[in-house]
Structure 1
Amino acid sequence: MKKMMEQCEIYRSGYFHAERLQEEDDVQDLKNEVTVMVNSIELLRLHCRKLMGQYLGSCSVDELNEITIQIEKSLTLIRSRKISNQPSSFRVLPKFWQAKVHEEEVGKLKAEIAGTRELVNERTTLHEMV
Structure 2
Amino acid sequence: MVRGKTQMRRIENATSRQVTFSKRRNGLLKKAFELSVLCDAEVGLIIFSPRGKLYEFASSSMQEVIDRYKRHTKDRVQPENQADAQNLQHMQHEAAILMKKIELLEISKRKFLGEGLQSCTLQEIQQIEKQLERSVSTIRARKTQVFKEQVERLKEKEKILTAENAKLREKFVGLQQNQTPSEDKEGEAVCTDSSEKSDVETELIIGPPESRTRRLLQN
TM-score bucket (shorter structure)? 0.5 to 0.7
Higher relative contact order (CA 8 A, sep 6+): 1
Structure 1 position 56 matched with structure 2 position 117:
yes
How many residues get paired? 89
Q: Structure 1, residues 43-84: CA drift from partner, whole Å, max 9, x if none? A: 111011111110011110001001100111111111111011
User: What's the TM-score, normalizing by structure 2?
Assistant: 0.36
Q: Report the counterpart of residue 27 of structure 1 in structure 2.
A: 88
- Aligned pairs for 1:90-105 (under 5 A) are none
Q: Report the counterpart of residue 16 of structure 1 in structure 2.
A: 77
Structure 1 position 42 matched with structure 2 position 103:
yes
The partner residue of 1:88 within 137, 151, 155 is: 151
Q: Structure 1, residues 88-120: CA drift from partner, whole Å, max 9, x if none? A: 27xxxxxxxxxxxxxxxxxxxxxxxxxxxxxxx
Q: Report the counterpart of residue 129 of structure 2 in structure 1.
A: 68
Q: Which runs of 5+ in 2 are unaligned?
A: 1-35, 45-64, 153-219
| Comparing 46-55 and 24-33, the one that deviates more | 24-33
Distance 1:56 1:22 in 2: 46
- Following superposition, the deviation at residue 11 of structure 1 comes to 4.5
Flag the structure with higher strand content.
2
- Following superposition, the deviation at residue 18 of structure 1 comes to 1.6
Distance 1:33 1:21 in 2: 18
Distance 2:80 2:118 in 1: 52
- Structure 1 ranges of 4+ moved more than 2 A: 1-13
Distance 1:43 1:9 in 2: 49
User: What's the TM-score, normalizing by structure 1?
Assistant: 0.59
- Following superposition, the deviation at residue 4 of structure 1 comes to 8.1
Q: Report the counterpart of residue 109 of structure 1 in structure 2.
A: none
| Comparing 51-60 and 18-27, the one that deviates more | 18-27
Flag the structure with higher helix content.
1
RMSD: 2.3
Query: How much identity, in percent, do the aligned residues show?
Result: 25
Structure number with bigger Rg:
2
Q: Which runs of 5+ in 1 are unaligned?
A: 90-130
Secondary structure, counterpart of 2:118 in structure 1: helix
The amino acid of 1:70's aligned partner reads: Q
